[in-house]
A and B are shown apart, each in its own frame.
Chain A
């Protein structure tokens, strides 16, 4: 029996899930975020946030569940992960910049390519520090300021 999930709504794939011959399977790459709709005996049914239209099933053990907030529960619910806003922002910024960065590479703007690359690596490292949770409040605050300034710089 498939039952709609109440709290298990959002997760990250921790392994590649390749579907050889499964019509209803949802192929996943490590790191893909998924939104979960239903569960049944070790399986989830849902979709990857990168392609919301394609729904399918995948094993529960491949998913690391994350805390999230559900709005508008039911058919048209929207799921927002509960994360530090700065961490989330960095994630989104990195995704977006990654695309732009590739463009810069093809354009052969060496200076821009190098600088953006460096800033992205910095952001990645700082995000990692934030997530690891070993920093004190003061340090966290400082780091967040630093990150926000960098993002501002990059958006210009």
Chain B
């Protein structure tokens, strides 16, 4: 029969505990209640309104509702079970008045069922959530029961039916206490997740969580099982996210401390726990939030009155040029000269170099960090360039500003963490000033590339683009440490980069050569080229060729040659004997062969006179097969 009629009927099986399964035709147009009624009739069940259909495992055992029923496909296996309402009622009854064992069983069941929206709605409507919250607040129950209680709560809240604002301080304290003390990983994991949500979703909760959870207490959870680690990082992220700037700074300081870093290194990055998508995402968020701290400096222009900034600029000069430490009496003119040597654009007032944002003052911070912490490389770099007098010096100041700008861009400083992204750079968890360290490595690289390119001031932009390419390619492989970054950058020399660019260009051109307009153009030109080739070949034939003579047995005859050439009108082949040197004219060649008589041209092994001879001999052989006769003109040319 026509498919139209049957399209809303799916053939499915329905199971029930202790019953023989039924195979039915499920009519999508019939109300669910009616279908359930029919099923109950077959199984002799009374009160059909107490039953509901459930999907199987592949649909998370969700209840079938009028909304999701079109997910039922041919061959689906459904289950008839007590309805969400009845089940919720039963569970509540047991939780309120059952024995300890019954309570535990009900709670375990609840933690599974809560993931289903339909059930959750029923349960919450029957004041189930309030009961759960009370249970948690009271703090009675431990072990598995508590774990199930907490995870039920998490699942129920997940649906977003109830606002997180309903939770009171006592509840939060209780959960915070669970985190601050040692518990089973299932409990900790749920507790961490609850507080993360409290911070992110409730208006009041953040302050309390922040007070009650010292960041240090999370340290132990970062060394736990992977789900706990994940939730712990998520909680840290939530804390960082909601904190004001000052608070965030102090949090960040703790997080970049050696203690924290070692734990993240040893227990997350190196154990492979970081390879999961969710963990990677959390680490990405953490990194982005930490980088976000640099944003303020990045977007701040240097103020002319900024004493701290001026001091830093002076210090840069002092570290580079006053190694004796007694240069305080130098004249302003000398200073200007020094600033020029430092490669500032505005050598009279270098502060102006930091008025562009980004990178703003962040560039100055990086430079002073380099000068203070790596003073040897710094001095070397500056002196090396200030001593050159050939226009090939690399301007340290200008280069630094540009480099920091590039880094900010590549590392997306100041961008809000995105939901999907999960790319983080493990190396930035290896140092308490990872950004500054990264800059220090890259400024040395920039200087090296500058030299490799033999660049002048006019090439500044080009060097910057090469350096940008070097850094982004190095970061692509996610180096695990600053040293690995350094090594990778060392291997990506300027010539390496140009080679890579060349390769990319070639492959692009290769691809473009197959583009339609190019192919069409080629087709258009082909006849002309073919014509040229023909012209060239004909000219060759007209000029003629001398061949060695062979005896009929294939023996070469000494000092005997013959010559063949095409007539200028391309109609007749003239041939005849000749000597070793001469090239007879058409008139001098006695024999003729009309081109129109030639039936075929065979070459190589196909030639009759080449049969049974070694391959090396037959290479240049050819024969002309003539129309209407068996006679053949053959030769094997040697040129």
**Residues of A near any B CB (own CB < 8 A):** 14-16, 29-31, 102, 105-108, 128, 132-139
Contacts and interface: CB of A to CB of B under 8 A. Distances in A.
Given A134-B498, A135-B462, A136-B459, A106 B521 contact: no
Interface stretch (B38-46, B448-456, B482-490, B585-593): B448-456
A106 B532 contact: yes
B420 interface: no
B543 to A, nearest CB: 8
Interface of B: 453-456, 458-459, 462-463, 465-466, 498, 501, 505, 516-518, 520-521, 524, 532, 535-536, 539-540
B462 A108 contact: no
A84 to B, nearest CB: 15
Nearest to A14: B517
A108 B536 CA distance: 7
Given A102-B532, A108-B536, A134 B521 contact: no
A15 to B, nearest CB: 5
B536 A136 contact: no
26 contacts: A14-B517, A16-B516, A16-B517, A16-B521, A29-B521, A29-B524, A30-B520, A102-B532, A106-B535, A106-B536, A106-B539, A107-B539, A108-B540, A132-B501, A133-B462, A134-B465, A135-B462, A136-B453, A136-B455, A136-B456, A136-B459, A136-B462, A137-B455, A138-B454, A138-B456, A139-B454
Nearest to A15: B517
Nearest to B456: A137
B447 to A, nearest CB: 15
B536 A16 contact: no
A15 B519 CA distance: 11
Contacts of A132: 501, 505
Nearest to A62: B517
A134 B536 CA distance: 41
Contacts of A137: 455-456, 458-459
A137 B535 CA distance: 46
A16 B536 CA distance: 30
- Secondary structure dominating the interface of A: loop
Nearest to A142: B454
Nearest to A136: B459
Residue from the set A106, A133, A135 with the largest chain B CB neighbour count within 10 Å: A106
Contact of B539 (A31, A102, A108, A138): A108
B462 A30 contact: no
B61 to A, nearest CB: 56
B532 A134 contact: no
A31 B455 CA distance: 34
B521 A138 contact: no
Contacts of A134: 462, 465-466, 498, 501
Contacts of A135: 462
A105 B454 CA distance: 42
Contacts of B517: 14-16, 30
Contact of B520 (A14, A16, A107, A138): A16
In the complex, the 4 A-B pairs of residues with the closest C-beta atoms, listed nearest first: A136-B459, A30-B517, A16-B517, A106-B536
Nearest to B392: A138
Nearest to A128: B505
Contacts of B535: 106
Contacts of A29: 521, 524
A56 B516 CA distance: 23
Nearest to B536: A106
A130 B178 CA distance: 68
Nearest to A102: B532
Contacts of A14: 517
Nearest to A18: B520
Given A30-B518, A106-B536, A138 B505 contact: no
A30 B459 contact: no
A32 to B, nearest CB: 10
Nearest to A140: B459
B532 A136 contact: no
A1 to B, nearest CB: 31
B125 to A, nearest CB: 61
A100 to B, nearest CB: 13
A136 B457 CA distance: 10
A33 to B, nearest CB: 15
Given A106-B535, A107-B539, A136-B459, 13 more contacts: A16-B516, A16-B517, A31-B521, A105-B536, A106-B539, A132-B501, A134-B466, A134-B501, A135-B462, A136-B455, A136-B463, A138-B454, A138-B459
A138 B455 contact: yes
A15 B532 CA distance: 26
A34 B535 CA distance: 32
A128 B502 CA distance: 11
Contacts of A102: 532
Contacts of A105: 532, 536
Given A29-B524, A102-B532, A136 B505 contact: no
A128 B506 CA distance: 11
B458 to A, nearest CB: 5
Residue from the set B455, B462, B518 with the largest chain A CB neighbour count within 10 Å: B462
Nearest to A29: B521
Contacts of B505: 128, 132
Contacts of A138: 454-456, 459
Nearest to B540: A108
A110 to B, nearest CB: 11
A136 B539 CA distance: 48
A132 B126 CA distance: 71
Contacts of A139: 453-454
A29 B498 CA distance: 32
Nearest to A13: B517
Contacts of B466: 134
A134 B467 CA distance: 12
Contacts of B454: 136, 138-139
A61 to B, nearest CB: 13
Nearest to A125: B502
Contacts of A107: 539
Nearest to A135: B462
Contacts of B520: 16, 30
A90 B174 CA distance: 80
Contacts of B459: 136-138
A138 B516 CA distance: 38
Contacts of B456: 136-138
Contacts of B518: 30
A14 B517 CA distance: 8
Contacts of B465: 134
A14 B465 CA distance: 28
A103 to B, nearest CB: 9
B337 to A, nearest CB: 25
